[in-house]
């Protein structure tokens, strides 16, 4: 009876098919990892490296950060503007920083003024005027955040429109921010700082 059975094929005759299946699996796995990376980067979370000293001493040149993009993503899905809270540190796209150039650069700054508020910078002081504070208040002194030098150079008097925020670097004497390029539109915001993970001895949640 055994003689009626077809002879067994040697294992090496099946190897090309096995290799083919293995390569397909590897290719699908790699494609899945790449797709997941881009999905996470565009819609959920991404890394960012600080360049310059405009956010010193809160953040230093070379610090590595994680940026939370979920609130912005959800706002866009629902057709709303993503407006961070006062004191939040955000990453955003900004163009026109260099004369004759329309290229964009990503910057990191702190949200100081919110839609509908009047922002005044005068005599080294930054003040916010709103319905809740018609007489004005100084956000740098509210305890929402801490900066090394609360003196703010410049001469600004602007009322923010819907979907606009006013941003400043914590290093007010060395920061190119809304005092220079004006209010930030909600659609420019990439995400909110959530974690500094390097250097390890300065790891911090925000």
Provide the annotated active-site residues.
54, 109
Whether omega before 108 lies within 30 degrees of 0, making that bond cis, reads no
The secondary structure of residue 86, as a DSSP letter, is T
Is 130 exposed, middle or buried, given 0-12, 13-18 or 19+ CB atoms closer than 10 A?
Answer: middle
* Span between the terminal Cα atoms of the chain, in Å: 76
CA dihedral (78, 80, 41, 102) positive or negative: positive
Q: Which two tokens stand for residue 178?
A: 């809304």
- The candidate with the shortest Cα–Cα distance to 39, out of 49, 50, 31, is 31
Q: For residues 35 and 46, give the distance between their C-alpha atoms in angstroms, rounded to a whole number.
A: 14
Is 110 exposed, middle or buried, given 0-12, 13-18 or 19+ CB atoms closer than 10 A?
Answer: buried
H and E: helices and strands count for the chain: 3, 11
């Amino acid at each position: 009876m055994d003689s009626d059975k077809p002879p067994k094929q040697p294992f090496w005759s099946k190897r090309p098919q096995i290799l083919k299946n293995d390569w397909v699996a590897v290719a699908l796995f790699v494609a899945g990892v790449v797709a997941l990376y881009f999905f996470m980067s565009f819609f959920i979370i991404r890394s960012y490296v600080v360049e310059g000293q405009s956010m010193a001493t809160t953040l230093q040149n070379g610090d590595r950060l994680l940026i939370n993009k979920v609130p912005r993503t959800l706002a866009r899905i629902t057709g709303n503007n993503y407006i961070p809270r006062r004191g939040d540190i955000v990453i955003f796209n900004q163009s026109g920083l260099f004369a004759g150039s329309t290229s964009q650069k990503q910057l990191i700054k702190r949200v100081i003024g919110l839609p509908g508020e009047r922002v005044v910078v005068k005599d080294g002081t930054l003040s916010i005027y709103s319905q809740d504070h018609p007489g004005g208040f100084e956000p740098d002194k509210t305890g929402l955040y801490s900066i090394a030098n609360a003196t703010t150079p410049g001469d600004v008097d602007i009322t923010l429109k819907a979907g606009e925020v006013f941003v400043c670097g914590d290093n007010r004497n060395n920061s190119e921010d809304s005092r220079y390029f004006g209010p930030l539109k909600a659609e420019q915001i990439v995400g909110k700082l959530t974690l500094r993970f390097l250097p390890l001895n300065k790891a911090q949640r925000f």
